[in-house]
Amino acid sequence: MSVARPPTENSKPKLKRARVENWPAMSFSEEDKVGTVQPHDDALVITLKIGGYDAKRVMVDQGSGIEIMYPDLYNRLGLKLKDLTTYDSPLVSFNGKVVIPRGQIRLPVQARSEVVKVDFIVMDAYSPYTAIVVRPWLHALGAVSFILHLKVKYLSRDLIEELVGS
């Protein structure tokens, strides 16, 4: 028969403190709408530094899965066919036509102080945009976009940064 003994100071289990990190809350409020015309149905269009070039008219599309680059940006970056890797899956453009991409290229995309690498499919089709960034870019950046507020927010170091659509 064994007798239970009360725990001694040396036999008490050591408790570990949970590490609590206080991150700023990323949210959108009515104040984020200041400067926008409401109601609207505008696309979220921002400026990003792509491949070292300030690319204007970059559309943020959280519903798509592949990033697209159009001829305007491709030409401004001075890219050549030899810079691209093969991408042979046809895509459908905004006007409903099937387009065979020129290829694919991986480039750094800078949003203020944060840089992530993005695989762009280079399209040979007209678009009012220079590029489209989508879910993979948002996820790599840890960003949240809100089209109603025309903003993208993400955590950079311990601060929330935002990109404002135009």
Domain covering 43-164 assigned CATH 3.40.50.1970 in the classification: no
How far, in Å, CA of 22 to CA of 91, rounded?
43
Instruction: Please say whether the beta carbons of 152 and 162 come within 8 A.
Output: yes
**Which pairing describes strands 98-99 and 131-133: parallel, antiparallel, or unpaired?**
unpaired
Q: Digits of tens for pLDDT over the chain (166 positions)?
A: 555 555 565 655 666 666 656 666 777 778 877 888 888 888 899 999 999 999 999 999 987 889 999 999 999 999 999 999 999 898 887 778 888 899 999 999 999 889 999 999 999 888 899 999 999 999 999 898 888 888 998 888 888 888 888 8
